[in-house]
Amino acid sequence: MSSVEKKRLRDRRAQQNLRSKRSQQMAVLEKEVAHCREHHDDQGIQRLLQVITGLRKQNEALRSRQERLKCLVDSWDANPAGVPTNTNESPDQGLPGLIAIPEGLMNNTDSSSNPIQSSRTNTPYDDPSPSSLRLGGELSHQQARHIQILSREPPTADTSPIWKQLPLHDDDFLDPRTISCPWLEYPERIALCPDSPSSPLDLLYGTNTNYLADMIYKATQRRPIRDPERLAMGWLCYHLTRWVVSPSPATYANLPPFLRPVPDQLQVTHPMVLDNIPWPQLRVNLIQHWNVFSDIRDDVFGLFSCCIKVRWPWGESILERNSDNELCIKEKFFETFMSEAGWGLTPDFMQRYPQLLAGVDLEAISYELVDKEFYHGEK
């Protein structure tokens, strides 16, 4: 081969190697772009920003409480003259060797100047919510809890659009032990789910194509729930979770009015599972008394799942076929559970936990599952 032919051969090999390297680099870049689109979309970033904001607020609250405790400890040594040195002093003047506590700390009933009382009565984020206010000393703490009336006035501090005003949860997505709803363990997978289930069968029997619907189905399998309640509660929980994970006007519009958060849910930290309860006043009562019922939550929700009912005739179908011969939710059943009046509660729960029904119209929500005349007729 001549020198010219050898040079041409070297050039062709160099160009071939260059094309091969470019194709390999393009394949790597395409994989990185696909990974970014899957795991770093706008909804995922928004969720992480919400988590960061919550952690910052919690950090500020902890620092504030630490400073208050430090001030309290420093105040013990602020007056060395208060330490009695005479062992012959009378009992009314104090015991020898004990530090005299300032009278202001003993008699002060203002929680704002008492670091210990303030840390017990304030919410985790130090929000001045009505449920965190300390009542006068003439009332016991137990009496105060039962006479508090939570404000229903819209919050004035938050001027953002209503669809951006999320409930104040204490569920930490970074710590699975704090998550009250089992399907929230992987919120990044929820963000990829559609705004509504493609079929009601996903909530009734599970699915491999919709993570959120399948997780809600598995959670409801723990309780003895009928199909009407399983589908109705699953539908409400699905859309509420989609809005919390991916807040937007579209996801907010899918919520029925009675399930949208009231001001108390926006001001008082609470587990997210409480937001799934259909009646707003019952949600408020649970949030207000959660320190009492948190230890028996399994008993409360176990009985509640058995007692909550959709006002739907026994044995009547909840599904129908559309024009494409696909099973869908019957329109009348959909209108029933999307209305607050379409839900009822059997007397068993009312008799067991009457304190949770304060301010609730018992006659309006009371529901007997089996009609007495029908029952006697069958016998």
Q: Residue 49: exposed, middle, or buried by beta-carbon count in 10 A (0-12, 13-18, 19+)?
A: exposed
Q: Determine the Cα–Cα distance for residues 115 and 113; give it in Å rounded to an integer.
A: 6
| H helix and E strand count, the chain | 18, 4
Report the pLDDT value the prediction gives residue 39, as an integer from 0 to 100: 67
Q: Do 264 and 151 form a contact (C-beta atoms < 8 A)? A: yes
Read off the pLDDT of residues 280-339 as tens digits, 9 standing for 90 and up: 999 999 999 888 888 888 889 889 988 999 999 988 999 999 988 999 999 999 999 999
Which of these, 288, 281, 286, lies nearest to 297 by C-alpha position? 286
Which of these, 358, 130, 126, lies nearest to 262 by C-alpha position? 130
Read off the pLDDT of residues 339-352 as tens digits, 9 standing for 90 and up: 999 999 998 998 89
Cα 338 to Cα 56, 157, 327, 348, distances in angstroms: 37, 30, 19, 24
Report the pLDDT value the prediction gives residue 317, as an integer from 0 to 100: 92
pTM value?
0.57
The one-letter amino acid at 60: E
Q: Do 309 and 369 form a contact (C-beta atoms < 8 A)? A: yes
Enumerate residue ranges in the chain where pLDDT < 50: 81-156, 371-379
Could you count the other beta carbons within 10 Å of the beta carbon of residue 357?
A: 19
Q: Determine the Cα–Cα distance for residues 212 and 218; give it in Å rounded to an integer.
A: 10
Please report how many Cα atoms fall inside a 13 Å half-sphere around the Cα of residue 54, on the Cβ side: 17
Report the pLDDT value the prediction gives residue 259, as an integer from 0 to 100: 93
Report the pLDDT value the prediction gives residue 129, as an integer from 0 to 100: 36
